[in-house]
Amino acid sequence: MILSLEGMTIRSESKIIVDQVSLSIREGDWFALVGASGSGKSILSQSIGQLLPSQLQIEGSITFKEQDLLKLSAKEIRKVRGKKIAYIFQDYQGSFTPFRKIGQHFDEYLRVHTQSAKRTRYEQAIEALESVGLAEDLYHRYPFQLSGGQLQRVAIALALLLSPDLVIADEITTALDSVSGHRVLEMLAKKQKETGCSILFITHDWRHVRRYADRLAIMKDGSIVETGGKHRILDHPQHEYTKQLIKTAPIFEKGLRSGLDRS
């Protein structure tokens, strides 16, 4: 296992947001976390990289490559984040500094995390852009000069720049139109194949679960109600809540099974 969460409980002053959650992600897995809005998916995923606001209290353990992440200092977790664990968020605008060109984002990232010389950093950035289907001239543009889909692909290129072992992708297509969203996910899937990284993929969209996930967990009101392989869950859901979610997902309305593509 590359990541194991054990007995994770996260609470605010007024309520328990995540309640005794345990889950494991294997090397190279595309692991989908599915559930209704407010069920605690983002909070759980943010706890992995110690990104939670300080007023939330955490119990449990997060083992990543045999290291307990909750025991790391702020400096130590910063090193893990970015280099070994990378986040991609729904709000791609927020991932960029508006007055800095795309190239500066790459350059800064490589300067902080590697010893590469300036010329090499430039070449690495161009290679990264091209690897997600973007042209070299985007390097010289400002974020506002790119479309949402292009920016999210830049975010993927940045996230994968240092070949992290785990990518946490939190509803990364929600703010995109469906064609751009599809392209972004195809890029992510291609990059996963090339690098062998694991992906924790937070989504509401069952079409994406069906197309990309290997395993998944269903979250409801802060707890995981069911977890397992994609085909087992989609074709033979056990928990009532999972059955309900699948039944109401438009993509399954004609009894389409998990492995089949709609044509």
Ligand X SMILES: Nc1ncnc2c1ncn2[C@@H]1O[C@H](COP(=O)(O)OP(=O)(O)OP(=O)(O)O)[C@@H](O)[C@H]1O
Positions touching ligand X (CB under 6 A) are: 12, 17, 35, 37-43, 53, 56
Residues near 154 by beta carbon (within 8 Å), at least 6 away in sequence: 96, 102, 105, 129, 132, 134, 138, 146
Cα gap 88→65, rounded to integer Å: 20
Stretch (H or E) spanning 33: strand 30-35
Least Å distance, CB 118 to ligand X, is 39
Q: Which is nearer to ligand X, 5 or 132 (CB)?
A: 5
Tell me which residue of 34, 40, 86 sits closest to 203, measured CA to CA.
34
Cα gap 219→206, rounded to integer Å: 14
Tell me which residue of 152, 260, 192 sits closest to 31, measured CA to CA.
192
Cβ-contact 124, 110 below 8 angstroms = yes
Least Å distance, CB 43 to ligand X, is 3
Least Å distance, CB 202 to ligand X, is 7
Least Å distance, CB 55 to ligand X, is 6
Least Å distance, CB 139 to ligand X, is 32
Q: Which is nearer to ligand X, 57 or 195 (CB)?
A: 57
Q: Which is nearer to ligand X, 42 or 198 (CB)?
A: 42
Q: Which is nearer to ligand X, 57 or 120 (CB)?
A: 57
Q: Which is nearer to ligand X, 190 or 239 (CB)?
A: 239
